[in-house]
Structure formats: C-alpha cells, structure tokens
Amino acid sequence: MAPSVAVVGGGISGLAACYHLTRGPHPPKVLLLEASARLGGWLQSTRAADGAVFEHGPRGIRPGGTAGADTLHMVSELGLAGAVLPVPGDHPASRNRFLYVAGALHKLPSGLGALLRPVPPFSRALLWSGLRDLLAPAGTEPDESIHAFARRRFGREVADIAVDSVCRGVFAGDCRALSVRSCFPLLFQAERSRRSVLLGLALGSAERGGGDTHGSGAESGLSRRARAERWSQWSLRGGMETLPEALAEFLRERGVELRCHQRLRRLSRRHDGRWELTLADGTVTADHVVSAVPAAALAEALPAEAAALAQELRRIPAVSVAVVNLQYEGVALPVTGFGHLVPSSEDGSLLGIVYDSVAFPEHNGAATASLRLTVMLGGAWFEQSFGDPATAAPELLLHRAQAAVREQLGLEPAPTRSIVRVHQACIPQYTLGHWQRTERIGRFLAEHRLPLSLIGASYSGVSVNDCIASAKAAVERLLGPQH
Ligand SMILES: Cc1cc2nc3c(=O)[nH]c(=O)nc-3n(C[C@H](O)[C@H](O)[C@H](O)COP(=O)(O)OP(=O)(O)OC[C@H]3O[C@@H](n4cnc5c(N)ncnc54)[C@H](O)[C@@H]3O)c2cc1C
C-alpha cells in the first residue's frame, strides 16, 4: 500500500507541499487538513461585483532567483500563465518607491546622481555609506540585529531611515529585534565571504551570471519573459487568491483529499510508529506529517514527549497587521510609484501605503479611473498603537488609515469603498538567534527520527516564494526530486 502523508494547514505552503507530493511517478496518498472554512491562508482577495480586486494579504510576487522561477513554473503548470499581470522593469511601480520622512514624500534614490550628492531624506551622499561598507572590517558575531549590522556597514542614517522602513515593509517588524542572518541571509553571507556587503553581492551576482539571487530555478515561458522584461513583481488577474484556488482544483483532480473545518488538536505517535492526528470530530492516521501551520500552532498539538520541540517552536513569535483597503474616485496621487514606507521614528503605528492601482490598474474593474490604496498598520507596534488585535475596533483602524492618506498623500475626500481586516499573528519574526532555534528544531526531529516535516513562513523565509520553496525542499527530502 502507498504510504500516506497528512499535510496540516491549507495556506500556500500546505497546498504547495501537496502539489509537489503528487508530481512524481509514485505519489503517496495525500490528505490535507485545514482548520478554517477556506484554503489559501493569508492569500485573500475580495472580488467586487464591478470587477475590482482588493488584496488583503500578499499583492505581488517577485520573479527572481530559483524560488521565483519555480513559482512561475508552478503557475504555468496550473494553467494560469494567461492570468499573470506583470510589472515590467520600466514601469513606475518598479522604478519609484518612496519614504515618508519629516512630513514629506521622498523618492528612494536611484542612479549615479543620487550616489554622488545628498538626496533628502539623507543628509550625506550615499557614496559615503558605500565607501564605509567597502572599508569597514567584517563582523565576527554569529548573528546581529539588522539595525546593528546596517549601522556598522552603512552608517546610522541608512539604518534608521532606509533599513528600518524596509523591515517594516517586508516583515512588519522592528529591525532592532530582527536577525540579519535569518532575515537577509544573502547580505550576511556577502559580508562573511567578501568582507563587504556591496562587494559580496556584486561578485556573487557576477558568479551567478548576473542573476539577482542564487541559482536559476525551473525554466518556463513565464520566467524567460520575466527576465527579458525585467519584471519587478507579478500578480494574477483575479487576485492572489486565484493561486490557491487553482492549486486546489489541480490537487482534487489528482485525488488529494482536501478537508476544511479540520483543526489539528493533537499529534501523537502510535506503537507502530504511525502518527495519529486528533481532530474535532475524530482521528486520522498517517505515515508522515507535513506541518504547514505556524510554529506556535504546531507547538499546541505536540505530545508531552516533544515538549522540548514545542518550547523552541513557541519562541518564534509573529506580529499582527491591520490591512485597510481604500478606493477613491476623482482624485490623483501626488506621486506615482509602488507606494511609500514610513520609518518607525516617524510613526510606529503606520507601516506604509501601497498604491495598488499604479502597479495593477487591471484590478480597478469597471471604475478604471479609480484609485486603490492599501494602508498597512501595526506590525511589531500593533499592541502599543491599537491594543489587543483580537478586539481592535475596525472604525478606529479605518479612521487612522484615512488620516494617514490625508496627511501623507493630501487626499481629502472620503473613500468610496473601504475594507478593514485585522490579521492576527500573520507575519513570523525571525528575531536574534532564530538560526539557532531552527537548528535545534532540526536536531530534535533527526535525533527522535520523527516522520515530521516543518514548512511555511515560520522558519526560512516569509515571502510566498520562500513558502513554496520550503514545501518543495521538504518533499524532495522525503521522496527525492520530483519532476
Ligand atoms: C498582510 C500581508 C501581506 C503580505 N504581502 C506579501 C507580498 O506582497 N509578497 C509576498 O511574497 N509575501 C507577502 N506576505 C507573506 C506571505 O503571504 C505569507 O508568509 C504566506 O502566505 C504564509 O503562508 P503559509 O502557508 O506558510 O501560512 P498561512 O497562510 O498562515 O497558512 C497556515 C494555514 O494553517 C491553518 N491552520 C492553523 N492552525 C491549524 C491547525 N491546528 N490545524 C489545521 N490547520 C491550521 C490556517 O488556518 C492557515 O490556513 C504577506 C503576508 C501578509 C500577512
């Protein structure tokens, strides 16, 4: 009888694991268990009757590197190539990103001119930060906060303004608590191998033939187009939720059993070595379990003999984000680009504003001239700004988002449409020493020979690409490379 695999968690990681599990010539029997009523996890899109699309989770996926190419390959295999909405390299949403500092919007510097002379909000030409990086000795600590690393290599201003903002944009997190080794492994390795981040990145890129991250990934027509047109990101015509929907359809056709409303309560080993999974209304057994739930959720289900593992898993925290989608009619942005980020020194509660209709005007629907924005609030500053995310009032969050749009973009009219979502513990935080936690987790699994794979955003990358890559890698460890 074919071995059976239970995949727990129906977000993009769990769905991608099922996809890779069923691609080989002798696929195991696969069962997916999802606690909520729907599949997709944080990939959530609202499709309005007039064709407008509002993203409540991820809104753009990067095409670069191995993981980016592999995701595009999967998208092609799912028959979604025609639904891809690319943002080419010469598009304003690729070229223009802004920071809101000291009450004004500033375009993030690009080009030689910006390197040679001071460009606000920076008081010195960025050339000096580059020279500092080329001359400073390499760090020796096994890990360091992103802020300390950036300050040491590029100076305080770059750390306080640019790096602080980027960490809020990517992780909704505080760069003084996040680990450079785990959040930006390429930068950490670049310094270790070449003594300079810039030199390490440049030489690494040259060695990889100019690619922006290591490796090349599976080739597809989409990845070739992405390279030729220098896409900065892409979405899907029906919104990001199209991806889990297409995966679910693909998996059902291949006989994968997809069960919603099935929260894993308890995971225990039987005498014969198989797993027993206790659900709300019964049990199932499996030879192998792939956990695609957040680390803290897995910790709750583990048996007493895995207490040491549960303890490590609980040490991986996550922050909450309020996502406020706004639509306006008859107004224009003061600038055009991807959006702007706000450093924590300016306003902790407001992470940034994405100008969705610039990157993806196709999502405006019938109201082609409307402006769609997403205001991101909270993150590592959620509790201090808005209190308990479980009880934060949507009206308060909407009010805060509208005030930010008025102050920072000068848009006075009220939005014609608004949606407020509070995502509790939605982005894991790789804090200082995360690499040691993941090593101890790996050691526990190996020493106890547990037929358990851990995948998803809690461990080795939070982007959609990282999650899919973690699923692929786990399946390859279990079954060998699948084609
Ligand atoms: C607001 C926001 C914006 C983002 N923007 C981007 C972006 O633009 N680009 C990008 O690449 N990434 C972005 N990300 C990151 C990315 O979307 C996530 O890291 C990724 O979707 C996480 O997927 P996952 O499957 O690992 O986890 P999840 O999506 O959290 O899925 C886990 C699933 O497990 C289920 N579950 C939990 N407990 C149990 C249990 N006990 N039993 C059974 N099921 C359980 C949950 O219901 C959920 O469906 C964003 C994330 C957020 C929150």
Instruction: Decide if pLDDT at 65 tops 90.
Output: yes
- Our mutation pick for probing the ligand 1 site, out of 293, 313, 363, counting the most ligand atoms within 8 A of Cβ, is 293
- Alpha-carbon distances of 123 from 127, 157, 168, 208, 345, rounded to whole Å: 12, 8, 22, 35, 16
Say if residue 86 is preceded by a cis peptide, omega within 30 of 0.
no
Q: What is the mean pLDDT of residues 368-397?
A: 96
286 pLDDT band (50/70/90 cuts)? very high
What is the distance between the alpha carbons of residues 56 and 423, in angstroms, rounded to a whole number? 9
- Our mutation pick for probing the ligand 1 site, out of 36, 56, 213, 464, counting the most ligand atoms within 8 A of Cβ, is 464
Nearest atom of ligand 1 to the alpha carbon of 36 = 47
What's the pLDDT tens digit per position in 451-481? 999 999 999 999 999 999 999 999 999 998 8
What's the pLDDT tens digit per position in 229-257? 999 999 999 999 999 999 999 999 999 99
Q: What is the mean pLDDT of residues 75-96?
A: 97
Q: What's the first-to-final CA gap in the chain, in angstroms?
A: 22
Nearest CA residue ID for atom 10, ligand 1: 463
Nearest atom of ligand 1 to the alpha carbon of 427 = 53
Q: How far is the CA of 13 from the centre of ligand 1 (A)?
A: 8
Nearest CA residue ID for atom 13, ligand 1: 58
What's the pLDDT tens digit per position in 422-451? 999 999 999 999 999 999 999 999 999 999
Q: How far is the CA of 195 from the centre of ligand 1 (A)?
A: 35
Q: How far is the CA of 245 from the centre of ligand 1 (A)?
A: 15
Nearest atom of ligand 1 to the alpha carbon of 9 = 34
- Alpha-carbon distances of 156 from 37, 109, 132, 159, rounded to whole Å: 47, 17, 11, 5
Q: How far is the CA of 41 from the centre of ligand 1 (A)?
A: 5
216 pLDDT band (50/70/90 cuts)? low
Q: How far is the CA of 57 from the centre of ligand 1 (A)?
A: 8
What's the pLDDT tens digit per position in 368-378? 789 999 999 99
Nearest atom of ligand 1 to the alpha carbon of 262 = 43
What's the pLDDT tens digit per position in 122-174? 888 788 888 888 888 888 999 999 999 999 999 999 999 999 999 999 999 99
Residue-level pLDDT at 213: 46
Q: How far is the CA of 385 from the centre of ligand 1 (A)?
A: 23
Strand partners, 318: 428
Nearest CA residue ID for atom 26, ligand 1: 456
Nearest CA residue ID for atom 19, ligand 1: 462
Nearest CA residue ID for atom 4, ligand 1: 58
Q: What is the mean pLDDT of residues 70-80?
A: 98
Nearest CA residue ID for atom 34, ligand 1: 9
What is the distance between the alpha carbons of residues 460 and 184, in angstroms, rounded to a whole number? 10
Nearest atom of ligand 1 to the alpha carbon of 298 = 41
Cα atoms in the 13 Å half-sphere on the side-chain side of 119: 20
Residue-level pLDDT at 483: 60
Considering the chain, what percentage of its residues have pLDDT values greater than 90? Answer: 84
Q: Considering the chain, what is the average pLDDT of its residues?
A: 94
Nearest CA residue ID for atom 31, ligand 1: 11
Residue-level pLDDT at 395: 97
Q: How far is the CA of 447 from the centre of ligand 1 (A)?
A: 29
Q: What is the mean pLDDT of residues 407-422?
A: 97
CB 83 within 8 A of CB 238: yes
Pull the structure tokens for residue 349.
């509660």
Q: Is 388 exposed, middle or buried (0-12, 13-18, 19+ CB in 10 A)?
A: exposed
Instruction: Decide if pLDDT at 32 tops 80.
Output: yes
208 pLDDT band (50/70/90 cuts)? low
- Our mutation pick for probing the ligand 1 site, out of 8, 20, 39, 42, counting the most ligand atoms within 8 A of Cβ, is 42
Instruction: Decide if pLDDT at 60 tops 70.
Output: yes
Report the pocket of ligand 1 as residue ranges, CB < 6 Å: 8-14, 33-36, 41-43, 57-61, 263-264, 292-294, 297, 301, 321, 323, 423, 426-427, 456-457, 462-464, 467
Residue-level pLDDT at 212: 47
Strand partners, 417: 327
Q: How far is the CA of 49 from the centre of ligand 1 (A)?
A: 26
Residue-level pLDDT at 472: 97
Nearest CA residue ID for atom 30, ligand 1: 41
What is the distance between the alpha carbons of residues 257 and 251, in angstroms, rounded to a whole number? 8
Residue-level pLDDT at 117: 78
Regarding predicted confidence, which is higher, 110 or 261?
Answer: 261
Q: How far is the CA of 157 from the centre of ligand 1 (A)?
A: 33
Residues in the chain: 483
Q: How far is the CA of 457 from the centre of ligand 1 (A)?
A: 7
What's the pLDDT tens digit per position in 187-205? 999 999 888 888 888 887 6
Residue-level pLDDT at 211: 47
What's the pLDDT tens digit per position in 310-362? 999 999 999 999 999 999 999 999 999 999 999 999 999 999 999 999 999 99
Q: What is the mean pLDDT of residues 363-371?
A: 88
Q: How far is the CA of 156 from the centre of ligand 1 (A)?
A: 33
Q: How far is the CA of 464 from the centre of ligand 1 (A)?
A: 8
